[in-house]
Amino acid sequence: MPNVSNLYIGWSSSARPDSAAIMAEPTAPANYKNHDLIATYVAEAKVKQLRLASRVPGLAYLSEVCVLDGGGTAVLECGGSPAPSCSELTKFFTGWRPWLRDYDRWAEAGAAPTSWLFGFEVADFFAILAHQAMSSGATVPVRFLRSAYPGLVDPYCLLLCAEDRKLFPLPQLLKLFKFEAGGGSPSRVAAEAARHLIARVNFGYWGS
């Protein structure tokens, strides 16, 4: 499979500071009558909501992003404080011409893509980016919302079914494949892990 235009992405996100105010207030089941039990249930439900919000488009924001090329060199790396700029990220991904051009060629002629973007839960990345950008008044490609790229590959989808992902969050998956992180930010480790795992996959008629 050609390596020239392949990219590998790692990313992390956090719940928006106002996400608790945006989400619906949790309520205890109707059979709960004790006020203390109700309060405990609601408090625990709020904690769970906030934990989930860090990955929900509209409630999350990107806190860190790392994109590596086929040789492992970072072509985009941002994060920490302040958070990555939406305009910087949207400009980068809409400007990666080999990827977009391959998509158009594939759509018109049914050709296999020669540029690939690999990353764990990469479709969620684009959904969060799109919501984050639109909430700041920007316009984003509809492809960001629909993840409509034939060259978009989530290693999780290649290796595990949806239910098994609960047993193998990324740290456990990397142990399974004996991947030793070389240091750096969590997003860089995730990008390196995607590159490491994809190197073991033969894509056959898709370009190997």
Domains annotated for the chain, with CATH where assigned, are: 7-16+58-203 (3.30.420)
- The rounded Cα 159 to chain-centroid distance in angstroms is 16
- pLDDT band at 1; cut points 50, 70, 90: very low
Per residue in 5-42, pLDDT (tens digit) is 688 999 999 888 888 888 888 899 889 889 999 999 99
The pLDDT > 70 percentage for the chain reads 75
**Which residue intervals of the chain are DSSP H helices?**
19-22, 35-53, 86-94, 97-109, 122-135, 142-146, 155-159, 170-176, 186-198
Average pLDDT over residues 138-142: 73
Average pLDDT over residues 150-159: 78
Per residue in 86-137, pLDDT (tens digit) is 777 777 776 654 455 555 555 565 555 566 788 998 888 888 888 888 887 8
CA–CA separation, 197 vs 159, rounded Å?
Answer: 10
Name residue 23's amino acid. M
Would the pTM count as exceeding 0.85?
no
Q: Which helix (H) or strand (E) holds 9?
A: strand 7-15
Please compute Rg for the chain using Cα positions.
Answer: 19
CA–CA separation, 194 vs 108, rounded Å?
Answer: 29
Average pLDDT over residues 194-199: 86
pLDDT at 152: 77
Lowest mean pLDDT segment, chosen from 24-28, 64-68, 163-167: 163-167
- Is residue 4 predicted with pLDDT exceeding 50? no
